[in-house]
Chain A
Amino acid sequence: MFKQTKKVEVIMEENSRRSFFKKAAAAVGVVAAAGYTTTLISKSTASTGDVRAKYAADVAAQEKAMMGNQLIQMTDDEKKQRLEALLNCHYQEIA
């Protein structure tokens, strides 16, 4: 008899309001933690210092790409060839 009552209590406990609130609180906790983590991550990527450093790195990369290049004068034939290539490519695409 005592054993059976205990069983009923356990089932009742499982289905109880307290158990529901416990689960709900846990779920809210998980969601809040996830949200907080996301905020932290996005905040850290968006911090002004970081952003400036990233822009600066892009500028440096651009500068590097532009340095040490040569501008070579094209012959008349090269110019014609370049123009033909451009026009051919364009007409091919249009077709």
Chain B
Amino acid sequence: MSKEIIEELNEAKDVQQGRREFLKNVCVSSVAGLVATSTPAEAVVDASNPDADVTVAEFFQGHFILMSNEEKQQAIARLEKRYSAKYGKKTTVSDVEAPDGVLFGYALDIGKCIGCRRCVHACVKENNQSRHDPEVQWIQVMKMPKGNISFSADQLDKGYPEKSKFGDYGVQVGGNAYKTAGFSTEDAQNYYQDDLVPEKDFFYMPVQCQQCEKPPCVKACPVRATFRDHAGVVLIDYNWCIGCRMCQLACPYQARHFNWGEPNLPAEEMNPKTHYFGNRPRMRGVMEKCTFCVQRTREGRDPACMEACPVGARKFGNLLDPDSDVRRVLATKRVFRFKEEAGTYPKFFYYIG
């Protein structure tokens, strides 16, 4: 290669490399700049961006239970800021912990329930559920014909408690034991549209999360986004939920609801008093369910459904307290087991008083 050509080549290379280096540096610095500005929460959680459903900072946050107090406060501040901007009202997100010495239980008198669905609507309102397309309801009221009670009186003197090597638990065999010694949901209607309730010869049975003591949904969750708190309530960290729906499959009561789309919650109907694990607005792609109104019950108030019931069919209380309403129901009323075979030990009892 002649000397001239080599010089020419070197010169050209120098020019090209200089330019290339410059462009490379520009690219690297712009990418670094972008990352740096997007990492702090404040860069994304901005009142000018109220529609952002999950901010970058939220996306990268850990499980709420495992956060330090400082991280929790930051997460809550982010949410409050975003919700306040999005819904145009001062929104609070509480992280009050479950009280000690409490195991929440619920009892519902099927004999009293009139099927008015006031509990359903109070729940939707309190818990910031999607209002339309569709309205997500955590409580389903079943309407069942009274005629399907098949407790046969002539079998009452038959049957006996079965002894077991694990202990005598008084489980009955024979007699009425293998029949519906109560009633069945065989001909139940979930979506009745009656002008007037209660309809003669019908029972109404609201079904919601049974707050199982051995919850299969918690066992099924691959990321532990759903868990049981020490007051016995099964909760969900919506930000940690990956939306795999395993919990929904596992729940024998089908009490969990998945947000297939963005929930439609009009700003004017949004309840601004929220709890991190409770009624704060959810996003698309996460699971939600009844939490016994954790935002209320952790502060010593009753769940919204109970407050709304016009006939006092609902009782809520502490199972550890022998004088609580729920314990009294268990001690004195005719209580039914529902889906006992699932072995989940629900803390929601149906009874007839």
Which A residues are closer than 8 A to B by beta carbons? 1, 4-5, 8, 11-12, 15-17, 20, 46, 48, 50-52, 54-55, 58-59, 61-63, 65-83, 85-87, 89-90, 93-94
Contacts and interface: CB of A to CB of B under 8 A. Distances in A.
Given A8-B8, A62-B254, A55 B2 contact: no
Contact of B334 (A59, A73, A86): A73
Given A17-B19, A76-B170, A51 B5 contact: no
Interface residues of B, number: 66
Contacts, number: 152
A51 B182 contact: no
A89 B214 contact: yes
Nearest to B261: A51
A66 B319 contact: no
B151 A73 contact: yes
A81 B166 CA distance: 12
B20 interface: yes
Contact of A61 (B134, B254, B337): B254
Contact of B171 (A58, A59, A78, A85): A78
B345 A68 contact: no
Chain A residues touching B, majority SS: helix
B337 A11 contact: no
A16 to B, nearest CB: 7
Contacts of B16: 12, 15-16
A46 B261 contact: yes
A5 B170 contact: no
Interface in B190-232: 190, 205, 207, 213-214, 230, 232
A76 B172 CA distance: 11
Nearest to A86: B213
